Structure 1
């Protein structure tokens, strides 16, 4: 199944919403490790990091740093803006 970037970013937002929790400010947040280790996410996104970077460039999400690595950045928050 081939998705374009906008479709992948939209699907990523759906998955972050599914896996995340709502903060007191109303924003939804998920840890990178939770997102990375989810079976549905793993089977949906060939290049999760690329999709995360595209969503960040579009200012739909935010997270600290440029690159997220498994285990090293498992506790980094990914926040829907």
Structure 2
């Protein structure tokens, strides 16, 4: 698995599914990402890709780990344009 490539794909998907928040940053709910058919086909391990992108300070979200159902309303925020 190429993490750099997956993170690049994640950025594209956040841009596709998200919208600008009050701070002018693009954000999308975790549930929207998780339940999107295109994302499901692209990412073998969406949660792992999210964690890798967060470590690289490309995105941010509350908490350490996002779980489907429990964290569906958590915003995933793109820090870079």
TM-score when normalising by structure 1: 0.94
Task: Please show how residues 19-34 of structure 1 align to structure 2 within 5 Å.
Answer: 19-34=17-32
Alignment of 1:2-81 (within 5 A): 3-81=1-79
CA RMSD of aligned residues (A): 0.8
Any stretches of 5+ residues in structure 2 without a counterpart? none
Normalized against structure 2, the TM-score is what? 0.94
Which sections of structure 1, spanning at least 5 residues, go unmatched? none
Rounded to whole Å, the distance in 2 between the matches of 1:25 and 1:56 is 18
User: Take 2:78 and 2:6, find their aligned partners in 1: how far apart are those partners?
Assistant: 15
Equivalent pairs, count: 79
Q: Which runs of 4+ in 1 moved over 3 A?
A: none
